Each structure stands twice: as structure tokens, then as C-alpha cells.
Structure 1
């Protein structure tokens, strides 16, 4: 076991001290601090800045009412008597931020055309359109003889409640909270596996290309070496994730946010977080073994990416199916796919989070997942020991066969 901890510690410390790791961690922490305070930065740049809009009221009926609708908004309307072409030229020269031309339709109700140098910023036209629609509704109600109370009743949405008949089914509020945690885990697992799985494969390929591996294999059993690297990189990634979480948590707290309420996780049961940790770690181990084995089959670091592409496609497929399943977690397709070990970490957790799942299904999926990890670790150790001693042109299937044959010698 001392050799195992030596490989684990060496991998962990080496990666932790790497410049790329430090730079990536610092940059990501700065981005997290910026995102947590994005509302303050937006307010700093846009606060108290009103958009000046010139208004030409051809009908002479709508400006005053429209100005009342816009009172308190970021749009400051000003009625002008200029000709339309002169007003457009004033907009081009920067005197006005925009021009609104009001007129009446066949029913005497308002219609408008908005002119600006660019309409890429949709906030101003959207605000003007909202105010104009409210004005149109008020005028239409007046023509029909409706009171304000009758008008508000007319546009009041119909009560619509959702009630689950199953006793263990979640309420709509619980589902929304669970979806947040499920999505966070899915995205974290997706990024975690892709980022750090590739790191494992690159680590093995780098040592192999420098011929250090020949010395290591002769002194450290392949299983210990394989899992020493996998767990070492896992600890590096967990360290980085812990730093990210601490920075994000602190940044949200200092920005005045109640973190768990901000994330919508304040009412979730503790079992959800336990399942999240279990499936997260098992999913990482499953894919990490594959990445390490494939990394041992290449002779050059440049060949790592093509070698691990099939595993990366599996991760992407699992993630895409899980995102699809967020809206239909009880479908038979999602249920069947959740028992496929390569999809289980994401899909079974998705089902547990959103719909009632029988205990035997959860247990069966975990047994299949653990059995697959053990089987891959056993087969992978054989391929790993022979693979790290092979050099030359890469051919995955042939190389695996040759690696196993070398292990038997």
C-alpha cells in the first residue's frame, strides 16, 4: 500500500503545483466573483442612465397617456414637432437615442414605428411596446365601456393547479428545487469527467513517452499505479472544486444573496445530497478507469485526444440524454437507459431527484455500476500493464489485445 500512496501523493502534489492548475484556478475564481456581483456591475454602468426618445404624435391623442405609462422607467420621452426626416437625422447625429412615431389605426387605436441607429438593444423598444400595449388596452376598454376592475378581471390568468396523486410524488415546488440540484450535478459531472479524465490520460501518456513508466511498472503493481493516478487526479479536481465552491459561496454571501435560497436548494432532503455524492464519485471512477487505460495505449501525448474521443462521446451522450430527460424523467426510455452503467450516474440520479423510484431499482443500478467499475478495473489493469510498455503507431483494438498478451508473459 505504501507504493500506492506514493503514486497517489506524487500525482496529487505534481498537479497541484503545476502552473496551468494555479492559473486556471485563479482565473476561474475571479470569474465566479464577477458573476456573483454581476448585478452590481450592471447597476454601476446603467444606473440613472435614461434613454432619450423623441416622440412624434401624428394623431395628437396619445403622447400624454404614453408618457404616463413610461413614468418611472428608463425611457424618457419628449414630444417634438420636427418633421420625421429631420428627427431621424437628429437620431443619427446622437441628439436623440431613438425616435417613436405614433399614429392611429382604422379603429382609432395607437400604432407606432420606432427608429434607432441600431435595434440590437431590445430593452428600449420592448419598454415602449409594453407601454403602448397598455395604452391600447385602456383605450379599447374605454370604447367598450369596461371599467378598470372589469379589464383586470378579463386579463387575469385562469387558476391552474397541479396535483400529484401518488403519495411519494413531489410537489411542483419540490420538483423545481430538485431540478436545480440535478442540473448542477449533471453539469458538474460532465465538466469534471471531461476535464480531469483527459488529465489522467495525458498524465499516463506523458510518463510513458519519457520512459519513466518502464521503471514504475517494474516496482509498482499495475492496479496500485492505475488507481493511484486516478485517485490522485480526483483529489486535485476535488481540491479545485472546493476552492471554487468556497469562493462562489463567499462571493454570493457578500453580495447579499441567501445562497441556498438563491440556488433553490433550501428545502431538499439530505438523502438527495447523499445520492449526489455517491453517483458523482462512482461516475468519475467509471470513466477515469477508461481514460487511464486508453492513455496507456498511446506512445505520444499528441495521440491522447483521438484515443479518448470514444469515451468523451459516451459522456456527451449521457449528458444529452439527461438534459432531454429533465422534462420527461418518468419515460420508459429514461428508465431503461438508467440501468446502462455508462449512463447510470446521470440518469438514475435524475430519476431519483424527480420521480419516485423503487428501492430495488436504485440498488440494482448501483450493483451494476459497481460491478462494471470492478470489471473495468480488473481488465484495465491487465491492459494498463502491457499498454504502458508498448510503443509505436496507435491502433486501439489491436493494442488492447497486444497489451493483454504482454501482461501474461
Structure 2
């Protein structure tokens, strides 16, 4: 047991102190804070600049209601009534003294119409806000032309009453679905990225030791099985450390955004603080079991490879399963009750993602969840037994081109080694 812990902690310490790990962790955390607070950062660098738009009101009575309408929901640009000619206004736009020119006219039906001129007409936010304000003014003018008062107009645009009631006994409420949607998406994404990143790390670690012939020294002092699981658990600790840092940093970044912007963060909006504890527990269970499942496969793959350059070619089949599971999970987010998703969730390589999805999006009976966990645990034990045999023989195989025949050769070599030890 002490040798197993020694391998595990050696793997953990060597990786957590490595420059690639430290740099990637720092950069990822920094990106989380930058992306989640991008609006506030843009405001800091742009200052308090407000776009100035000149308005030539050819109707004579449209500027005041337009200005009033804009002030209700947007303070990022300022409308200024322009009394001089259109050419003078265009010249000021070209000189950079104005950001745009808006000309208000009356169309053939007596309704308001507009023309916008600027050096750059690709600023969609500004243009969209002006269009929205003009549309509201036009709606008001049209209502007044047919004799509607403000109460009648408000009644027309009042949202239709629409109550939703699910008849399915396994469906969750809309609020619960919103909470689960975010958690499931985040966990699925982390699971996908973790398996891809740390799984390859395990395979490369084993392949690197084989290529340097360090393995021949190691297996003389510790059994290959203990070495394999020591490396797997060491990488698992590394993954959990980094993911814990990412989760804590992401939470802090979102909270910071809420304080800077003055708006409720997504945590409050979706009431993520009220997330059911059972769902969080299931997320951890399926994440850890899924990681162990794929980690065992990648360690077995690494033992069959003599050179690091061959890792990608052997990883491809496993990666295809990971990508397929992720794509089915993305489909299942919108169709969690699909029979296809339900059946696929009991296939071991898909179970971590799909069963978590179904547990989160549906109210599954306990026996289904237990069966999913049992299938996954059984697959891990099976893969561990096969992987241990392949690993035992694979670490002694050098110079072979990557092929499926290596699995059989590794198992036979493992049996031969056992016989030699027994003698």
C-alpha cells in the first residue's frame, strides 16, 4: 500500500509543480475573470464616452418624443437636435465631431421614417436602439390615428396569459429545469474537457516512462498494477485540484460581475444557491466514476505504446466515444425523455454523461439511477481487471507498431510473467 501511495503522490507532486500546469491554471482563471466581466472592462477602457447623434427633424414634432423614448432605456448615446443643413451635419460627422446623423421625415402614409448616416454603420447596438425607439413612436402615432388611447394600446401589447403544466410525472418544474440546465451543462463540459486533457496526460506519462526505459527499473520494485492505479489516482488528485480552483474562480468571477454591474448574478437569477444537494452529489459521483473509467482505458493504452508520438493514434477510438457521448448529451438536454438517450445512458462509455443528464433533467426512479451507477462501477472493475493484465504485459513490450494485436500479446505476456513469478 505504501508503494501505491508513493507512486500516487509522486505523480501528483511532479505534475502540480510543473510549469505547464501552473501556467495553464493561471491563464484559465484569468480568462474566467476577463470573460465574465468583459462589459465592465470595456467600460473602463472606453471611459465615459457617449455617442453623439445629431437629429434633423423635418417633421417638426418628432424629436421630443424620440428623445424621451431613448432616455427610458439607453444612456450610451445622446440625441442632439440639429438646426443647420444636412451637409453641415454630414461634414461634422466626417470630422469626427458627431458620431452619426439621423434625419426624421414623414412617409407617404403620414408615418415617421428615418435615415441614418455615419462613418461606420456597423455599430448594431446603437442602430438597433434607435430603430426600436422609432418603432415605438410609430406604433403610438398609428394608434392615435385610429382613435386608440394609451390604455387600449397597452391592452393590445399586454402579453397573452400562458400557463404551463407538465403532465409527465418525471418532468421537473420550469425553475428546477433552469437550475439543472446550467449545472448539467457545466458538469458535462468539465467532464468532457477533463477526460480529454487528463486522460491523454495519463497515456503520455506511461508512454514517456516506457520510451526512456525507466519502466524496467520501476517494475522491479513495484508491481505494474499498483503503478498503474497509483498514476491514475495521482492524475485524479491533480484533476480535482485544478477543477476545484476553476470552480471557485468561476464562482468568484460571477459574484464580482454582479457587484461591478449592480445586477443580480446568474447565481441569484437561477437560484443556484438553492440547488438540490442530491443533484450535486450525483454530479460528483458520475464525474468521478466517469473519470476513473476513461483513466483506466488511457493507462492501458499508454502501456501498449513505446513512443509518445504514437499516443494520438491509439487514443482516437476512445476520443470518438467521448465526443459521441458529449454530442448525445447535447441532444439529450432538449430531449431528456428520448428513448434513444435512455438506452444510450446504460452503455458504460456513455453512462457518466447521459445518466447525469437524465438525473438532472428528469425525476428518475431510484432503481434506474442505481442501475446506472452499478453498470458504471461494474465496467470500471472489468476495465481495471483487463487493464491491469494488459498493463502488466504491455509495459514490457517495446518497438511494436500500434495495432489491436498488441492487446492480445500484452495479455499473453502478463500470463507468462505470472507463471514465472509463481515458479
Same fold (TM over 0.5): yes
State the alpha-carbon separation in 2 of the partners of residues 59 and 246 from structure 1.
Answer: 57
Question: Contact conserved, 2:69 with 2:133, CA < 8 A, in 1?
Answer: yes
Aligned to 1:80: 82
Aligned equivalent of 1:57? 57
Q: Distance in 2 between matches of 1:21 and 1:12?
A: 11
- 1:195 alignment counterpart: 197
TM-score by length of 2: 0.90
Q: Is 1:277–2:289 an aligned residue pair?
A: no
Secondary structure of 2:101 counterpart = strand
Match of 1:303 in 2: 310
String of CA shifts for 1:346-380, please: whole Å, max 9, x gaps: 11111111112122221221111111111111111
Indicate the larger mover: 179-188 or 398-407: 398-407
What are the within-5 Å matches in structure 2 for residues 208-219 of structure 1? Answer: 208-219=210-221
Unaligned runs of 5+ in 1: none
Q: Aligned to 1:317, what secondary structure does the other structure show?
A: helix
2:191 aligned with 1:184 = no
Deviates more, 1:100-109 or 1:205-214: 100-109
Q: Which of 343, 347, 352 pairs up with 1:336?
A: 343
- In structure 1, the residue matched to 2:9 is 9
> How many Å apart are 1:39 and its aligned residue?
4.4
TM-score by length of 1: 0.93
1:299-336 residue CA offsets vs partner (Å, 9 max, x unmatched): 22122122212212211111111111111111111111
Aligned to 2:174: 172
Report the Cα distance in structure 2 between the residues aligned to 1:288 and 1:406, rounded to whole angstroms.
22
Structure 2, unaligned stretches of length 5 or more? 417-423
Deviation at 1:86, TM superposition (A): 5.3
Stretch of structure 1 that moved more, 82-91 or 22-31 = 82-91
Aligned to 1:378: 385
Equivalent in the alignment of 2:420: none
Match of 2:108 in 1: 106
C-alpha displacement of 1:82: 5.2
Q: CA deviation at 1:238?
A: 0.9
Report the CA distance shift for 1:113/1:384 in structure 2 as closer, same or farther (over 3 A).
farther
Bigger drift between 298-307 and 32-41 goes to: 32-41
After TM superposition, give the deviation of residue 250 of structure 1 in Å: 4.0
Bigger Cα displacement from structure 2, 109-118 vs 56-65? 56-65
Q: 1:297 to 1:116 in 2, by over 3 A?
A: farther
Report the secondary structure of 1:218's partner residue: coil
Q: Secondary structure at the residue paired with 2:240?
A: helix
Q: Distance in 2 between matches of 1:86 and 1:201?
A: 70
1:193–1:47 CA distance, 2 compared to 1 (3 A): same
User: Matched residues in 1 for 2:4 and 2:205: separation?
Assistant: 16
Q: State the alpha-carbon separation in 2 of the partners of residues 232 and 145 from structure 1.
A: 76
1:349 aligns with 2:356: yes
Q: CA RMSD in A?
A: 2.1
Decide which moves more: 266-275 or 54-63: 54-63
In the alignment, what sits opposite 2:23? 23
